[in-house]
Amino acid sequence: MKKNYLELTKIYYQVNSNTILKDINLSVEEGEFISVVGKSGSGKTTLLKVISGLTKQTSGAIYLDDKILADENSFMQPEDRNLGLVVQEKVLFPHLNVQSNVEFGISSDSEKKDKSIEMLKKFHIDKLKDKYPHEISGGESQRVALARTLVTKPSVLLLDEPFNGLDQKLKEDIYPNIKQILKENKMTTIMVSHDLKEVKSFSNKVYNLKNAVLRKYEP
């Protein structure tokens, strides 16, 4: 049996008296792709922010490969967690071209160029390397954002409705490419989305976040 790679235990997140996440328990195995569906405002994005460390949980603990990311006594900053996050908004840094965007997270100067070009090739967007974010389409932007995240070899990839806003035709074009890359990299992934059809095409498991509670999705 595979061991749990990412584990969330008894996570609560409250703002004033409003409970956004309630007793969240989640175990993800290495290389697994799980999805969380839920209505807009149900707390899906908050869940990813809590895992990534961008938002601190009110209580509970998060473990990655048996290391504590956050619990009652300790909190690892997001930059130290090695988790990749791709969100639905345009997040490419507008003052950097595509290649510089992808190079941003690579710490070794000598490897920056080779690694970024290699990743851009995987996503078939190496021709865009000199373009700036405002010069490329929405679908291309999302692929650059994914490339920028994957090039850092994150332990877990967190996807927050990354394909929202793209038309169906474009989604169908880029899905196989992304699936293949994630599979090749054995990437442990958590994706949140409101589109059940989309998540089913990617996921090993699907969860439903409703009234702040996370449950396994049962059709």
Residues that bind other proteins (CB under 8 A): 49, 52-54, 77-85, 87, 89-91, 93-95, 104-105, 107, 145, 148-149, 152, 154, 158
CA distance linking residue 64 with residue 4, whole number of Å: 9
Neighbouring C-alpha atoms within 13 Å toward the C-beta of 23 = 3
Q: Give the shortest CB-54-to-other proteins separation in angstroms.
A: 5
User: With respect to other proteins, which residue has the nearer C-beta, 93 or 204?
Assistant: 93
User: With respect to other proteins, which residue has the nearer C-beta, 53 or 139?
Assistant: 53
User: With respect to other proteins, which residue has the nearer C-beta, 66 or 79?
Assistant: 79
Q: Give the shortest CB-98-to-other proteins separation in angstroms.
A: 14
Q: Give the shortest CB-85-to-other proteins separation in angstroms.
A: 4
Q: Give the shortest CB-104-to-other proteins separation in angstroms.
A: 6
Torsion, Cα of 79, 80, 83, 86 (10° steps): 0
User: With respect to other proteins, which residue has the nearer C-beta, 76 or 196?
Assistant: 76
* Sheet with 33-37, edge to edge strand ranges: 83-86, 156-160, 188-193, 33-37, 205-210, 213-216
The structure tokens 């169908």 sit at: 172
Encoding tokens for residue 67?
A: 């290391």
